[in-house]
Amino acid sequence: MNKPLDQLTKAELIALLGEQSQQLESKDRRIEDLEGILAKFQKMLFGQKRERFESSDQLSLPFETP
């Protein structure tokens, strides 16, 4: 459809609007997916990095205190 908008019929305009609406929804979903991935990477990068569980069978190092 390379005709100017003022030369399109009502049905053609509705079809064009439907196509653009679907493209916009697809792009919105893609943006939401990418934002989720970004949030996951930020949590991995800036989240807590300490070990949460300590093993009770872990040996202690024999250092002498002065």
Q: How far is CA 12 from the centre of its chain?
A: 35
Q: For residue 55, what pLDDT is reported?
A: 66
- The predicted pLDDT at position 60 comes to 74
Q: Where are the domains of the chain?
A: 9-44
Amino acid letter, 5: L
Q: Does 49 have pLDDT greater than 60?
A: yes
Assessment of whether the complete model's pTM goes beyond 0.95: no
Confidence check: pLDDT of 6 > 80:
yes
Tell me how crowded residue 16 is: count the other CB atoms within 10 A of its CB. Answer: 13
- Please give the structure tokens belonging to residue 62: 């024999």
Percent of residues in the chain assigned helix, strand, coil, to nearest 5 = 60, 0, 40
33-42 pLDDT, tens per residue? 999 999 999 9
Mean local confidence (pLDDT), 45-57? 72
How far, in Å, are 42, 56, 63 from residue 20 at the CA level?
32, 61, 70
